[in-house]
Structure 1
Amino acid sequence: MQKSSPIGIFDSGYGGLTVFRSIAEKLPDYDYIYLGDNARSPYGDHSFDTIYRYTLECVEWLFDKGCNLVILACNTASAKALRTIQQKDLPLKYPDRRVLGVIRPTAEVIDNYTSTKQIGVMGTRGTVNSQSYLLEINKFFPEIKVYQQACPMWVPLIENNEHEQPGADFFVKEYCDALMNQSENIDCVLLACTHYPLLLPKLKEVFPDYINILTQGEIVASSLVSYLGRHPEMESTFSKTQKKEFFTSGDPKAFDEHASIFFGEELISEKMG
């Protein structure tokens, strides 16, 4: 294992920047490399095998850049690729490297946000069809009833910067109504896609006031802080010069134009090479 390295953060596109932002706020001293696979996004409608292959390629690219730890800041990749990478690829090829996702940290704390023990999960088709949240939440809190709703139009709207336009209202209301029609006792809605926080203003207008709308950035960041505390042997390898690098498999100029909306500040990316 290298003596120093950045922390790698991966997403299929821009959404992981909302998680990266929270991580950088909690752990500002560390070095980071963010990789967005924009040329092949969105991942939501791809098969398990395709998402696994894409995700592994990006994880290995971050490993080659010196990252000993990679965070999959993408629910679809966490749902469809993480387990295979952890169980198959790391033990055989990268025994000293680690890859973490966003589903388990969220499932571990979801009980703190519901009184009725009925929650809604809104995500891509890939995340919903994987049943990953049902399985993970059931491990920790079998008494919680989970209702799911796929929202296939939300990521395209956000990635094309149309999410604040009136035209997005129809698709926001359509999916929210479809979820709430499954149970009138839902009191917590998890946004199980890292793009979806950008829809929060519209979601707050549609959902009743008593609904807890849960985003993942703060949860994943707190979980990472805890993880590093439990694994000092890993934590000690990270370089801490406050350096942030951004890479995309797509067009860097287009990435930079959109990325600031997610990250909250201007940034300059490079082409994944």
Structure 2
Amino acid sequence: MTNKHPIGIFDSGYGGLTVFKSIAERLPQYDYIYLGDNARAPYGDNSFEAIYQYTLECVEWLFSEGCQLVILACNTASAKALRTIQQKVLPVKYPTHRVLGVIRPTAEVIGNFTESKIIGVMGTRGTVNSESYLLEINKYFPEVSVYQQSCPMWVPLVENNEHLTPGADFFVEKYLTELLNQNPKIDTILLACTHYPLLIPKIKRILSNKILLVGQGDIVSSSLERYLDHHIKIKELLAINAKRSFYTTGDQHVFDEHASVFFGDQIFCKHIDLKEQ
């Protein structure tokens, strides 16, 4: 059987590239297609219906490009669209396809990082309001207390390449303070948005070194590796030419400039218009 199916990776913008980078480092042999829906980013403040519709359109586009396995490298999409797609769309329209998110693999391990059994979760309004992390972490670590903090200005700062400027300091400190005011015994903070790792230098300057920061890149890439090892039929269908393709619904030149910061390598993308699909 010919190996011809790339792995699809989707995010509303650039943040998913931090996850993609970890996946590509751990599993460099596979072909990948990355799609950033930059024209409609950020997703975090949109309604459930809008996020679901946007995510489904992007997933179906990746399916049309040959991807049978798609990773939602976006916490908001994982929180508000993944389950509906898995339960209602795939069985009816795409029974041989799979869509995975970033919340469950993170929830499965996050409790292993904390000693105080008190965790902080920082995310978009959409992710926080969904309470997905509260529910999922409680399944795996019922003894762990979870406190959430929405950070509505962090994604815009990162998307506009303002995350390292002095102007970003106010909002980084503001949301960290609001989280820690909920419970000063928090010893582990989960960055539950794939944009947030770019703010780590500023976050670390504010936080006590006794508080552990946890990103999602290594967690998700490790989980994907285990998933493929346990789903051999899916693994055997994947293309292994180490080819990487990037697409955006926004301005491709702006995407290339910003995305290279997230991914760590120069990127040249193509533009797509989902309305034409």
Task: Give me the whole-angstrom Cα distance separating, in 1, the residues matched to 2:241 and 2:201.
Answer: 35
Q: Identify the residue that residue 8 of structure 1 maps to in structure 2.
A: 8
Contact 1:2/1:66 (<8 A) preserved:
no
3-state SS, counterpart of residue 120 of structure 2: strand
Q: For residue 70 of structure 1, report the CA deviation from its aligned partner.
A: 0.2
Between 1:33-42 and 1:109-118, the stretch displaced more is 109-118
Q: Deviations over 1:110-150 (max 9, x none)?
A: 11110011000000000000000000001111111000000
Task: Give me the whole-angstrom Cα distance separating, in 1, the residues matched to 2:131 and 2:176.
Answer: 19
3-state SS, counterpart of residue 112 of structure 1: coil
Q: Deviations over 1:218-269 (max 9, x none)?
A: 0000000000000000000001111000000001001001001100010100
| Structure 1 runs not aligned, ≥5 long | none
Task: Give me the whole-angstrom Cα distance separating, in 2, the residues matched to 1:173 and 1:264.
Answer: 26
Q: Quick one: which amino acid aligns to residue 107 of structure 1? A: A
Query: Does 2:224 match 1:242?
Result: no
Q: Deviations over 1:69-118 (max 9, x none)?
A: 00000000000000000000000000000000000000000111100110
Task: Give me the whole-angstrom Cα distance separating, in 2, the residues matched to 1:117 and 1:206.
Answer: 22
Q: For residue 184 of structure 1, report the CA deviation from its aligned partner.
A: 1.2
| Structure 2 runs not aligned, ≥5 long | none
Q: Quick one: which amino acid aligns to residue 115 of structure 2? A: S
**What does residue range 182-197 of structure 1 map to in structure 2 within 5 Å?**
182-197=182-197
Contact 2:3/2:240 (<8 A) preserved:
no
Q: Quick one: which amino acid aligns to residue 97 of structure 2? A: R
Task: Give me the whole-angstrom Cα distance separating, in 2, the residues matched to 1:136 and 1:84.
Answer: 16
Query: Does 2:72 match 1:65?
Result: no
Q: For residue 177 of structure 1, report the CA deviation from its aligned partner.
A: 0.2
Q: Identify the residue that residue 124 of structure 1 maps to in structure 2.
A: 124
Q: Identify the residue that residue 265 of structure 1 maps to in structure 2.
A: 265
Q: Identify the residue that residue 213 of structure 1 maps to in structure 2.
A: 213
Query: Does 2:134 match 1:107?
Result: no
Q: Quick one: which amino acid aligns to residue 121 of structure 1? A: V
Q: Quick one: which amino acid aligns to residue 126 of structure 1? A: G
TM-score normalised to structure 2 length: 0.97
Query: Does 2:193 match 1:224?
Result: no
Task: Give me the whole-angstrom Cα distance separating, in 1, the residues matched to 2:271 and 2:184.
Answer: 47
Q: Deviations over 1:48-71 (max 9, x none)?
A: 110000000000000000000000
Q: How many residues align?
A: 273
Task: Give me the whole-angstrom Cα distance separating, in 2, the residues matched to 1:272 and 1:34.
Answer: 12
Task: Give me the whole-angstrom Cα distance separating, in 2, the residues matched to 1:54 and 1:217.
Answer: 23
Q: Give aligned-pair identity as a percent.
A: 67
Task: Give me the whole-angstrom Cα distance separating, in 2, the residues matched to 1:69 and 1:3.
Answer: 13
Q: For residue 4 of structure 1, report the CA deviation from its aligned partner.
A: 2.1
Q: Quick one: which amino acid aligns to residue 231 of structure 2? A: H
Task: Give me the whole-angstrom Cα distance separating, in 2, the residues matched to 1:112 and 1:130.
Answer: 23
Contact 1:119/1:145 (<8 A) preserved:
yes
Task: Give me the whole-angstrom Cα distance separating, in 2, the residues matched to 1:120 and 1:183.
Answer: 9
Contact 1:10/1:58 (<8 A) preserved:
yes
TM-score normalised to structure 1 length: 0.99
Q: Identify the residue that residue 149 of structure 2 maps to in structure 1.
A: 149
Q: Quick one: which amino acid aligns to residue 125 of structure 1? A: R
